[in-house]
Amino acid sequence: MNVLVVGGAGYIGSHCVRQLILAGHKPVVLDNLVFGHRGALAPSIHLYEHNLGDEAAVTRILRDEKIEAVMHFAAYAYVGESVNDPLKYYFNNVVATLHLLHAMLAVGVNKFIFSSTCATYGIPTQMPIVETMPQAPINPYGQTKLDIENALKSISRAKGLSFATFRYFNAAGAAEDGSIGEAHDPETHLIPLAIDAATGKRPPLQIFGIDYPTPDGTCLRDYVHVDDLSRAHIAVFDKLNQPGTGLFYNLGTGRPTSVYEVIRAVEKATGRKVPYTTAPRRAGDPPALFADSSKAVKELGWTIKFPDIDAIVATAWAWHSSRPEGYR
């Protein structure tokens, strides 16, 4: 299938591009390279450098490349920033996405796969999280993702758009051969920061909170390998043939992992100590978030190749150790 991957030069998008090629599809990338990297894409991949809200450009690409499905990964995703600068998030994550959808409908491209997040659940009252639980985001980032989920339902009903929404838990890891991986600027995620603390590239890791009501006092998260996430996006294609289909899936391994357990995995992978200090809780961090992904397993035949944190961190280390400067 000819697939437009919006945000395809970013972390999850670039891994998905590679999985699309492995599965025999033809990805084309739209990315303004604000956060994406040309180096995350094979030279043969056609990259269009435009904003996703540029309807004229998007319409042209959809027509010229005979696009049959769109995957949308491009979003601002810093929770703290979204609290301080909500308009930036609403304009990019909501308004620009609506322009993308408008362009798709105008050209008759009818299949859409959307990156959503467990942040749409806010602070759930039950664990693991199933898709039918109430969604009540506690920050504008999560709200913008939920706004698009809701818009998709309405557009699908009115216009026959078929869509799948994937609510990611903590995307982590890198391509097994270490050729592409996580390269955010600024970096705020636990695993890359712990690796950089171990190698001395950054100061000691700060552990945000050791007094949570969890077994070791640190937050529990559900780390899921970026290639496992990517494969789910491809597995859903067959479900989108019927116009007006709307699907929602959690994607996580279902294994809660604490900050201390991540640190131990990084020490195992790198063979070095992770220096750390303890710091107060970070605002907006729920104590525990982990997924029930059995719906994706059952309906999509989704399989998890990297079920535990050691295997995930080993791939992250393969990337960081082979490319310490990232894509620079």
Active-site residues: which are they? 141
Q: Where are the beta strands (DSSP E) in 14-161?
A: 26-30, 47-48, 69-72, 111-117
- Give the largest Cα separation in the chain, rounded: 56
**CA-angle at 32, arms to 27 and 36, nearest 5°:** 75
User: d(Cα 306, Cα 174) in Å, to the nearest integer?
Assistant: 11
Residue 111 or 221 having the CB closest to ligand UFG = 221
Nearer residue to ligand UFG within complex by CB, 54 or 182: 182
3-class DSSP assignment, residue 326: coil
The one-letter code for the residue type at 178 is: G
Per-residue binding letters, 216-245, with ligand UFG (x by CB under 6 A): ---x-x------------------------
Q: Return the exposure string of 190-218: e unless at least 16 CB atoms fall within 10 Å of the residue's CB, then b.
A: bbbbbbbbbeeeeeebebbbbebebeebb
Sole residue written with tokens 């710091």: 279
In this chain, which residue has its C-beta nearest to ligand UFG?
Answer: 219
Beta carbons of 10 and 35 less than 8 angstroms apart = yes
Asked if residue 207 binds ligand UFG (CB under 6 A), the reply is yes
> Residue 135 interacts with ligand UFG (CB under 6 A)?
no
Stretch that binds ligand UFG, among 7-15, 28-36, 204-212, 225-233 (CB under 6 A): 204-212
Euclidean distance between CA atoms 100 and 86, whole angstroms? 20
What six digits make up the tokens of 96? Answer: 């620009």
The nearer residue to ligand UFG, 43 or 186, going by C-beta atoms, is: 186
193 touching ligand UFG, by CB under 6 A: yes
DSSP helix/strand/coil, 291 = strand
Q: Does 285 bind ligand UFG (CB under 6 A)?
A: yes
Count of residues that interact with ligand UFG, criterion CB under 6 A: 21
The one among 99, 282, 308, 327 contacting ligand UFG by CB under 6 A: 282
Tokens 């492995």 belong to residue: 22
The answer for residues whose C-beta is within 8 angstroms of residue 150's C-beta and 6 or more apart is none
Whole-angstrom distance, CA of residue 193 vs CA of residue 206: 9
CB-based contacts of 133, cutoff 8 Å, min separation 6: 121, 124, 126
Residue window 163-192: x/- pattern of binding to ligand UFG, with contact defined by CB under 6 A: -------x-----------------xxx--
Q: Provide the minimum distance between the beta carbon of 93 and ligand UFG in the complex, in angstroms, as a whole number.
A: 12
CB of 65 to ligand UFG, least distance (A): 29
C-alpha dist (Å) from residue 72 to 14, 148, 203, 204? 12, 11, 34, 35
Report the Cα 35 to chain-centroid distance in Å.
13
- Tokens found for residue 14: 């670039």
By CB under 6 A, name the one of 14, 117, 156, 253 that touches ligand UFG: 117
Is 317 an interacting residue with respect to ligand UFG (CB under 6 A)?
A: no
206 touches ligand UFG (CB under 6 A): yes
Q: Which stretch binds ligand UFG (CB under 6 A): 38-46, 122-130, 200-208, 312-320?
A: 200-208
Taking the complex as a whole, the smallest distance from the CB of residue 27 to ligand UFG amounts, in Å, to 23
Question: If binding is defined by CB under 6 A, does position 267 make contact with ligand UFG?
Answer: no
Q: Which stretch binds ligand UFG (CB under 6 A): 36-44, 51-59, 117-125, 176-184?
A: 117-125
Q: Report the nearest approach of ligand UFG to the CB of residue 251 (Å).
A: 12
Nearer to ligand UFG, 109 or 119 (CB): 119
Which residues of the chain form contacts with ligand UFG (CB under 6 A)? 77, 79, 117-119, 141, 170, 188-190, 193, 205-208, 219, 221, 259, 282, 285, 289
